[in-house]
A and B are shown apart, each in its own frame.
Chain A
Amino acid sequence: MNDIDAQLGRIRGDVPPLAHNARSIAALTSNPGCARRAIMDAAGIDKPRLASYIGFPAPFGQSQFAITRGNAFEAQVKANGCAELLRLLREQLGLPIPEVSYDDLEEVGGQRSQLVRHTRTRSLLTRAVRAGGDAGTLFDHPLLRLEVGGRPVYLEPDLIAFQLGGRFHVVEIKSFAVIDGQADGDKVAAAAIQSAVYVLAMRDLLAELGTGPEAVADEVVLVCPENFSNRPVATLLDVRKQLTVLRRQLSRLARIDSLVGLQPPGLTFDLELDQAGAPHRAAAELADDVHAVPARYAPECLASCEMCFFCRDEASGLTAALGRAVADDLGAVHSVQMALGLADGTITPADDQAEAAALLREAARLRRECLGATA
């Protein structure tokens, strides 16, 4: 492990690794086949900075409006000792009336240090586990810890873990609307995977206390505004699948050594910062090093990875840039040039391209028939 740590350290250069958060851990699962992303995440590289240094800054991060809106909605749901949330939990999950205990963990004795908050979270949860149902129902902003790639990561869920029937439930408050019982599928998926990160961290913590994983429910409570109002509505979300994906992805991060072993020995993404923090490395040279690690670009990357514009530029002219569905249909035909060649018959297909080539020629014929001479 030391060996691999040293290798990752060399790839990162002389800067401290970037800490993960729930969002970045969730993003790990979106493109598991991408070696470039896996190595960068494992080494804790500042991807936004790297991307902008080599000329492909990503207009990334949440919009300030979205953050403000999210915080306002969260504050509304949690106002006055989670009054609105209690109503939802009582109505929809049958939380008993006496269960109203509320502990604020966002600040401990005027301190916001992560260590203090984590210690306090631990001690409160320990007490809740030992004493059963009576010691604490709602925990506001607990600070959990999860091992990611051999390093502890503090996770600050914008959520509350509450106990119902002896099981902890994770509550995720999101500000996208559920309209007529339907919400944006992508957003729900993102929320589910983020909540799964919290469930995992919570289970880790309870495992340290000698409690089995069943103490944390597989279902998380998603609280969203209903229709076009600000009135919150709660739904149960099963995250078992996301948990499996996450676990697999995290164990893959732990086994990053095999992947690092495949890369060229001198590889480094070091920006060569000076004392003042200004980068000195030649951008072109750095870009070459980034090119050396294979990526697997798909248009979905634009929503989750800071390197997306660099990879898209690299992938231009390849069928992968057209989306996973197209790339899958074309099979072994990797570049757009080749696809066009196969379609008009100027390139003879290899054995593994024969099927795709037949389809392409058929499509070209249909196109000619439809468009006639103008095509």
Chain B
Amino acid sequence: MLQRRIDELRTEVRRAAVDRDRARVRALRAELRTTEQAWEESLARLDEEQPASGSATTSHAPASMPSAGDGAAAVVDGAAAARGGGSLLPLREQVHQALTLLAAPAAPKLVSAVHEAFFTGLIPSVRLTSLRRDEERSFRSAPFARPYYVCAALTAELLAPARGVLAVSTWPLDRRVIGPLSPRVNYLSAAIRVAESYLRIPGPGPAAQRLLWRLAANIPGASGGARNMDPARVARAAQAELQIHAAGDLAARTAAAARARRQLDDPEQLFGSRLQLTRQAAAGSE
């Protein structure tokens, strides 16, 4: 409520600044400041009620600021925007939500898009790059202390962490292995899950629509154009292609997962092994 008013005020300040209406700018900025103050206070109250989620506010600064005539207004804008917005959940839980929806290892971009489409707020993908490293550090210092970890997917051949793919530690190992066919299989199953979620939620937003359309565009027979998109049809088409690849992919994944269980210790099963070990692993497997 307050936040919406702040957004409105900012827009008006900007408009007034562009029109060079100084008096109006001054009045609006005064009102903006008091509204922000009120918002800060309510946020502080919220923090006191739920101290656990205190550090969790995600922030996303607006990508581009319209070049208002009044430079000071823009500065106030930016500072306020940096404080507000986004979900109150910790980043790892947001990622977990999105990955659970997809039920397959996925790249940060897709995770972020899914979160935007079906949950609240955008996950800045910059922050996702360090997430896996943080999780690994946390696991190594206190193994299995958390119910789940956002971890790496393993490449089938070398059991090394796959580049730029995130997974969840509670998934069975063979789901977290990436074989040569797996990127496609994961893509198709992600499309199916997104289509199903799209049907489930009431009134899917434009972000969900865009995501489904983007996924459907690359599946043969799935896309009926941007206007008349049918989630059921997307799921059917994805399922049809999935059937072609599934058997081969599953065989490769199961074999690699079995090998990983034999050869890797716990942290490595979650976060992959680096080269010295993989040389032996590769030699052992071939």
Task: Please tell me if B218 contacts chain A, counting CB pairs below 8 Å.
Answer: yes
Contact B275 A108 (CB under 8 A): yes
- A residues in contact with B184, CB < 8 Å: 81, 83, 86, 100, 102
Minimum C-beta distance from B238 to chain A (A): 11
Residues 82-120 of A, flagged 1 when their CB comes within 8 A of B and 0 if not, give: 111011001000000110111110111111000010000
Residues 265-299 of A, flagged 1 when their CB comes within 8 A of B and 0 if not, give: 00000000000000000000000000000000000
User: How many A residues are at the interface, by size bracket?
Assistant: 20 to 34
Interface centre among B163, B190, B279 (most CB of A within 10 A): B163
- A residues in contact with B182, CB < 8 Å: 81
Contact partner of B275 (CB less than 8 A), chosen from A79, A103, A110, is A110
User: How many B residues are at the interface, by size bracket?
Assistant: 20 to 34
Assuming A80-B107, A86-B184, A100-B181, is B244 touching A116 (CB within 8 A)?
A: no
Contact A86 B218 (CB under 8 A): yes
Task: Please tell me if B158 contacts chain A, counting CB pairs below 8 Å.
Answer: yes
Contact B244 A102 (CB under 8 A): no
- B residues in contact with A107, CB < 8 Å: 160, 163
Contact A80 B275 (CB under 8 A): no
Contact B109 A79 (CB under 8 A): yes
Considering the complex, which residues of chain B in the window 62-109 have a beta carbon less than 8 Å from any beta carbon of chain A?
A: 106-107, 109
A79 to B186, CA, bound (A): 12
Minimum C-beta distance from B192 to chain A (A): 14
Task: Please tell me if A136 contacts chain B, counting CB pairs below 8 Å.
Answer: yes
Contact B187 A97 (CB under 8 A): no
Contact A87 B109 (CB under 8 A): no
Minimum C-beta distance from B37 to chain A (A): 39
A106 to B181, CA, bound (A): 17
Interface centre among A86, A90, A110, A116 (most CB of B within 10 A): A110
Contact A100 B218 (CB under 8 A): no
- A residues in contact with B244, CB < 8 Å: 97-98
A239 to B5, CA, bound (A): 60
Contact B158 A81 (CB under 8 A): no
- A residues in contact with B218, CB < 8 Å: 83-84, 86-87
A110 to B281, CA, bound (A): 14
Minimum C-beta distance from A266 to chain B (A): 48
Residues 256-267 of A, flagged 1 when their CB comes within 8 A of B and 0 if not, give: 000000000000
Contact A110 B245 (CB under 8 A): no
Contact B274 A109 (CB under 8 A): yes
19 A-B pairs with CB atoms under 8 Å apart are: A80-B110, A80-B186, A80-B187, A81-B183, A81-B186, A83-B184, A86-B184, A86-B218, A87-B220, A97-B241, A100-B181, A100-B245, A102-B180, A104-B155, A104-B162, A107-B160, A108-B158, A109-B279, A110-B161
- Top 5 nearest A-B pairs (CB, nearest first) are A81-B183, A109-B160, A100-B184, A109-B278, A101-B180
Q: Other CB < 8 Å A-B pairs besides A97-B244, A110-B161, 4 of them?
A: A80-B107, A82-B183, A100-B183, A109-B155
